[in-house]
Amino acid sequence: MTKNRSGGGDPVRTLELLWREVGAPEPSAGRRGPRQGLTVGAVVGAAVELADAESLDALTMRALAQRLGVTPMTVYTYVPGKDELLDLMLDEVYGRMELAPFGPDEPWRDRVTRVATDNRDLLARHPWIAEMSVTRPPLGPGVIGKYEHELAAFEGIGLPDAERDAALTHLLGFVHSTAWAATDSAELNSRQSDDDWWAEVGPLLARVIDGERYPLAKRVGEAAGAYNTDMVWAFGLQCVLEGLERWADRHAGGADPR
């Protein structure tokens, strides 16, 4: 079970913070404690910067307070705790995405590919998102705006609404899993490159892996080589697109796609 998940805080308080109106008093107004000239947005922005630089494990309310130059108790007057903070951070970075409208004649494969690529780029900028469980996403303006935009990518395919949601969930699940693997691979390579690792373990593996006992593992493993993030991405995305097209075609033909 992941220790970092969305939807883990007070749902009402979280929604109040997510949907705070521009120009309205900060939700902490009227509470005791110095305001220090901060805003909820400034606190969330600093938290995103901290997570971008050091990961979610490094994000604590104390570390955030140090970054802001205030006491931890001051931070708590703006955000009740880390659970609510994670929701605000996720909604914030989603709200920053540049969601260019889809063209009326843009093929659905191009639209869906753009959604996948935009999310891959987002996760490259904010790797900590891949560390989070978002089964219950924060329903703030950033999340809802992103959801509205991405659902439109599937317009005209012929999927019922519930399956359109499932298709988007399937696509984003693929993006998140490959992004997490790419981040993990990059972290491992920062300690020791794949080439150096294979040079060190290769001779031993050549002695212990019996090609007659493990013929497929030996042949395919040698062909695949080190983990290739771009190849895995391109192949996986094509599988997702082909599967969606096949599913939609069966709908169009009146067959039960299951």
Q: What is the pTM of this model?
A: 0.83
Residue where the block lists tokens 């705790």: 81
Output phi, psi for 133, to 5 deg. -90, 125
The mean predicted confidence, pLDDT, of the chain is: 86
**10-41 per-position pLDDT tens digit:** 889 999 999 985 444 454 444 454 444 789 99
Say which residue, 96 or 31, is predicted with more confidence.
Answer: 96
Q: Are 120 and 236 in contact (CB under 8 A)?
A: no
Question: Residue range 201-226: average pLDDT?
Answer: 81
Identify the pLDDT of residue 24. 44
> 11-96: what CATH class?
mainly alpha
Please tell me the predicted confidence (pLDDT) of residue 62.
96
- Mean pLDDT over 71-87 rounds to 94
Nearest to 138 by CA among 17, 242, 1, 3: 17
How many residues can be counted in the chain? 258
Does domain 108-252 fall under CATH 1.10.357.10? My reply is yes
- Measure Cα distances from 63 to 44, 73, 148 in Å: 13, 12, 35
* Domain locations in the chain as residue ranges: 11-96, 108-252
